[in-house]
Amino acid sequence: MKLLSGLLSTDYGLMSLAVILFVIGMAVFFIRYFLRNLEEEAKRDQQQ
């Protein structure tokens, strides 16, 4: 519990939390982006 309160109450804790959330969001974006492009490329290759 002390770890969580330190994460949410200090400036470096909040910045760490922001960076962690940003990296997770970026990972989700890139996974969706790559999977969508792979699927579109597979459809394009089947049409040729």
DSSP state of 48: -
* pLDDT tier at 6, thresholds 50, 70, 90: confident
Contacts of 17 (CB under 8 A, 6+ apart): 7, 8
Give pLDDT, residue 9.
92
The per-residue pLDDT for range 7-46, each reduced to its tens digit, is 889 999 999 999 999 999 999 999 999 999 999 999 998 9
Give the pLDDT score at 29: 98
- What is the predicted pLDDT for the residue at 48? 75
Chain CA centroid to CA 20, Å: 9
